[in-house]
């Protein structure tokens, strides 16, 4: 006889069995993913490269033999730029930018009974930018150093001066973010390139204004805690690599150098030591390939004196790209870019105080001994170019072996106290 207790247990068992059978006919649904809030991506923060074009007009006053000639060269130009931006706050953006431009700024004027020519074929700047972000717009002011390769000639009189001039630059601009990678800008710059004298007794000074349009591509939009833009354009999950080389760095170096100074009837081989600072940014393209940009400045003395002839190279610097192969903590790389030097020379009754502009190339290796610190050993060869000063021609080259230490945080991080 089946009692109430047995009936209840049987009902429970039957319910359990039918539930299992029914469940077998219901498709199993995959567990729903759990979403976490991804970091907001900045429109401005990160490394960028770009192109530009524009129009320039300059004023040059050249004094020779008591006669002052006012050249007014102008013309179009185009070039390249690269830079790095960092948010100080949600609205304020601090950055640096280096650009090089090529064109044909030409001017001609009568000089006595002859015709004189003044040309600028290449110029560039290295500047800091401070901007205010408002939506996709960035309004900024900028200032820094400027250089130009200038040529003054009076062919009928046998006069020719070919040399770089270095000074300061200030300006302002506005940049618009087309999307999270691309931006367009318009910019005005004024440069005062100072005075320079020649062996023939000529004194020349130059100022220049430029209006340019530019297009930039940003390699990496970095996460930030707050943005000037009310809504993000994209979300990115953070990527973690072992010993990732990406990011900004600053550092110091010491080096030994040897060179060659060849001028009219003069050949000197200066040697000596120097020290300086560097800063840069690396971007890891893949597991092993690292691309970077670096600028450095050094001060010291590469010097030689033979009789009455002497040369002293007291300052040098470069702006270079680096392409490296990373093997965990060790990276080997090749590098090349722009180089400059300042040298004082006295030879053949000629006294000069000149800046030289040219190129540098080399190789190096860098070791990451901690997440923040690296050490490097680097060889560079620099050809600082040739300067023609009337009948005098001078050429300067140098080789350097450099040991450096880098801290993996940018100047902008330190200013913004983002350690």
The residue among 283 and 118 whose pLDDT is bigger is 283
Sequential DSSP letters for 176-191: EESSSSEEEEEEEEEE
Sequential DSSP letters for 259-311: EEEEETTEEE--EEEEEEEEEEEEEE-SSSEEEEEEEEEEEEEEEEEETTEEE
Global confidence as pTM: 0.58
Cα–Cα distance between 210 and 190 in angstroms, integer?
Answer: 7
- What tokens appear for 414 in the block? 């330190």
The residue among 266 and 252 whose pLDDT is bigger is 252
Domain assignment present for residue 113? The answer is: yes
Pair 211, 329 in one domain? no
Domain assignment present for residue 13? The answer is: no
Q: What DSSP element (H or E) covers 100?
A: strand 92-111
Cα–Cα distance between 175 and 198 in angstroms, integer?
Answer: 41
Pair 289, 151 in one domain? no
Domain assignment present for residue 34? The answer is: no
Residue range 142-192, pLDDT digits in tens: 999 999 888 777 655 556 677 788 899 999 999 999 888 889 999 999 999
Domain assignment present for residue 299? The answer is: yes
Sequential DSSP letters for 30-93: PPPPPP-PPPBBPSS-EEEEEEEEEEEEEEEEEEETTEEEEE--EEEEEEEEEEEEEESSSSEE
Domain assignment present for residue 158? The answer is: yes
Is residue 136 scored above 70 in pLDDT?
yes
Total domains present in the chain? 2
Is residue 257 scored above 60 in pLDDT?
yes
Is residue 283 scored above 80 in pLDDT?
yes
Pair 159, 60 in one domain? yes
Pair 184, 261 in one domain? no
Is residue 28 scored above 50 in pLDDT?
no
> Which pLDDT score, from 0 to 100, does residue 309 have?
82
Residue range 340-386, pLDDT digits in tens: 999 888 877 677 778 888 889 998 999 999 988 999 999 999 998 87
Q: What is the bridge-based pairing of β-strands 350-368 and 373-389?
A: antiparallel
Q: What is the mean pLDDT of the chain?
A: 78
Domain assignment present for residue 224? The answer is: no
Domain assignment present for residue 2? The answer is: no
Q: What DSSP element (H or E) covers 149?
A: strand 137-154
> Which pLDDT score, from 0 to 100, does residue 146 have?
93
- What tokens appear for 256 in the block? 């030994």
Within 13 Å, how many C-alpha atoms sit on residue 56's CB side? 31
Pair 176, 254 in one domain? no
Q: At 26, is the secondary structure helix, strand, or coil?
A: coil
> Which pLDDT score, from 0 to 100, does residue 386 have?
77
Q: What DSSP element (H or E) covers 21?
A: helix 4-24
CATH number of residue 80's parent domain: 2.40.160.20
Cα–Cα distance between 72 and 169 in angstroms, integer?
Answer: 19
Instruction: Count other Cβ atoms within 10 Å, centred on residue 121.
Output: 16
Binning pLDDT at 50, 70 and 90, where does residue 112 land? low
Pair 163, 282 in one domain? no
**pLDDT above 70 coverage of the chain, percent:** 72
Binning pLDDT at 50, 70 and 90, where does residue 113 land? low
Cα–Cα distance between 375 and 379 in angstroms, integer?
Answer: 14
Pair 203, 55 in one domain? yes
Cα–Cα distance between 93 and 261 in angstroms, integer?
Answer: 43
Pair 281, 172 in one domain? no
Domain assignment present for residue 25? The answer is: no
Residue range 35-86, pLDDT digits in tens: 444 455 678 888 899 999 888 888 877 666 555 667 788 888 888 998 989 8
Lowest mean pLDDT among 225-229, 249-253, 381-385: 225-229
- What tokens appear for 221 in the block? 């939009």
Binning pLDDT at 50, 70 and 90, where does residue 247 land? confident
> Which pLDDT score, from 0 to 100, does residue 335 have?
92
92 exposure class (CB count in 10 Å sphere: 0-12, 13-18, 19+): middle
Domain extent for 309: 247-415
Pair 410, 270 in one domain? yes
Cα–Cα distance between 269 and 257 in angstroms, integer?
Answer: 10
The residue among 140 and 57 whose pLDDT is bigger is 140
- What tokens appear for 60 in the block? 């040059």
The residue among 316 and 243 whose pLDDT is bigger is 316
Pair 284, 331 in one domain? yes
Lowest mean pLDDT among 119-123, 263-267, 283-287: 263-267
Cα–Cα distance between 28 and 32 in angstroms, integer?
Answer: 12
Top-ranked range on mean pLDDT: pick from 21-30, 205-214, 232-241: 205-214
Pair 213, 330 in one domain? no
Mean pLDDT on 228-253: 64
> Which pLDDT score, from 0 to 100, does residue 45 have?
86
> Which pLDDT score, from 0 to 100, does residue 129 have?
96
Pair 174, 262 in one domain? no
Q: Encode 52-72: b = buried (16+ Cβ within 10 Å), e = exposed.
A: bebebebebebebeeeebebe
> Which pLDDT score, from 0 to 100, does residue 88 have?
86
Lowest mean pLDDT among 60-69, 80-89, 95-104, 299-308: 60-69
Domain end among 202, 218, 234: 218
- Please, are residues 223 and 63 in contact by the beta-carbon 8 Å criterion? no
Residues 6 or more apart from 242 whose CB is under 8 A from it? 328
């Amino acid at each position: 006889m089946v009692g109430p207790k047995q009936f209840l247990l049987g009902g429970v068992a039957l319910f359990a069995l039918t539930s299992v059978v029914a469940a077998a006919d219901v498709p199993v649904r995959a567990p729903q993913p759990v979403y976490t809030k991804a970091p907001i991506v900045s429109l401005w923060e990160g490394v960028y490269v770009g192109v530009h074009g524009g129009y320039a007009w300059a004023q040059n006053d050249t004094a020779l033999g008591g006669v002052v000639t006012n050249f007014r060269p102008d013309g179009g130009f185009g070039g390249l730029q690269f830079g790095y931006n960092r948010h100080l706050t949600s609205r304020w953006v601090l950055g640096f930018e280096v650009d090089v431009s090529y064109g044909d700024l030409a001017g001609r004027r009568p000089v006595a009974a002859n015709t004189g020519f003044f040309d600028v074929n290449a110029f560039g700047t290295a500047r800091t930018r401070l901007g205010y972000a408002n939506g996709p717009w960035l309004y900024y002011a900028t200032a820094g150093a400027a250089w130009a390769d200038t040529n003054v000639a009076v062919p009928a009189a046998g006069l020719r001066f070919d040399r770089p001039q270095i000074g300061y630059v200030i300006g302002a601009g506005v940049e618009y973010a087309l999307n999270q990678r691309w931006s367009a800008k318009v910019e005005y710059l004024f440069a005062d390139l100072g005075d320079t004298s020649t062996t023939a007794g000529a004194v020349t000074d130059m100022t220049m204004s430029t209006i340019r349009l530019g297009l930039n591509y940003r390699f990496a939009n970095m996460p930030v805690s707050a943005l000037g833009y009310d809504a993000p354009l994209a979300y990115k999950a953070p990527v973690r690599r072992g010993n990732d080389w990406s990011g900004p760095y600053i550092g110091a170096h010491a080096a030994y150098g040897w060179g060659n100074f060849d001028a009219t009837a003069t050949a000197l081989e200066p040697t000596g030591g120097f020290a300086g600072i560097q800063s840069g940014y690396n971007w890891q393209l893949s597991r092993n390939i690292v691309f970077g940009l670096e600028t450095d400045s050094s001060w010291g003395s590469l010097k030689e004196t033979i009789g009455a002839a002497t040369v002293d190279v007291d300052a040098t610097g470069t702006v270079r790209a680096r392409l490296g192969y990373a093997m965990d903590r060790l990276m080997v790389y090749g590098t090349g870019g722009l180089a400059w030097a300042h040298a004082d020379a006295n030879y053949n009754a000629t006294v000069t105080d000149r800046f030289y502009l040219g190129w540098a190339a080399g190789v190096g290796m860098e070791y990451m001994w901690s997440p923040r610190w690296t050490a490097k050993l680097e060889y560079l060869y620099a050809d600082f170019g040739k300067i023609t000063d009337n009948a005098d021609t001078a050429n300067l080259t140098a080789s350097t072996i450099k040991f450096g230490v880098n801290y993996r945080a940018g100047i902008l991080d330190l200013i913004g106290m983002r350690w």
